Structure 1
Amino acid sequence: MVKRDAALQFGEYLQRLRRERKLGVRELARKASLDAGGLTRLEHGKTLPQPDTLKALGVALEVPFADLFTMAGYVIPSDLPSMSTYLRTRYGLPEDTIASVDEYIQRLIDEHGLDTNGPAPFEDESQNLSKK
């Protein structure tokens, strides 16, 4: 069931990205040199993409490959770097700015009662797709 949940989650993410960019399925398929039917199957959560497909989608959607690989389950959230490391490495932000971001994130976590150790990869605590 985990793979099915991952496929559905990725499909919803991919569809949202495509719509945000105001692209139709055929147009995105053309830009990524993919089959429109295959793209539709991805969006409907029927299958998970291969790495080459993710790279093509990343270029076509102008999305970092790491984001697509993570959403497709190739990288699990616990393997991702901390926000501080990410901000330091990606943007070279000064330490005082990173500390402010960390404080803000911690405040959001506390306000929303989030468990920073969970849920398990691709487990969505708000919906149980198997009950739908």
Structure 2
Amino acid sequence: MPPADPCPCGSARAHADCCGRLHAGAPADTAEALMRARYSAYVRGDAGYLRASWHPSTRPDALELGDAAATRWLGLEVKRHVPDGDRATVEFVARYRVVGGGSAARLHEISRFVREDGRWYYLDGAFPRR
């Protein structure tokens, strides 16, 4: 039986037992876990978590998520997670649709992460060429 409040990251666990722990302040065990929590934060419109999990050297001064109700997130696929000590790369595809007749779109990114003082942070990402 699926959980009453499934985690948006696609883990098949309840949000409270998955990304919700990280949103509440627990550190991510891996860069992939942080990336999944960041995806879930986008789905839930949690700009505070997104800024807190962004490395200070690359964090934007402001983060505008726009109208969260206008975007319907459809799913996340992690293509690869490459840990390398205190650095890691995560490649993923996030699918979404703009509410009100928009066609489905996909965000394909290769993200870089760094671990400092036991916490993972998002550094930046690049969109691979097709």
TM tier, smaller: under 0.3
RCO higher in 1 or 2 (8 Å CA, sep ≥ 6)? 1
More strand by share: 2
Give the number of the structure whose alpha-carbon radius of gyration is greater. Answer: 1
More helix by share: 1
Please give the TM-score of this superposition, normalised by the length of structure 1: 0.27
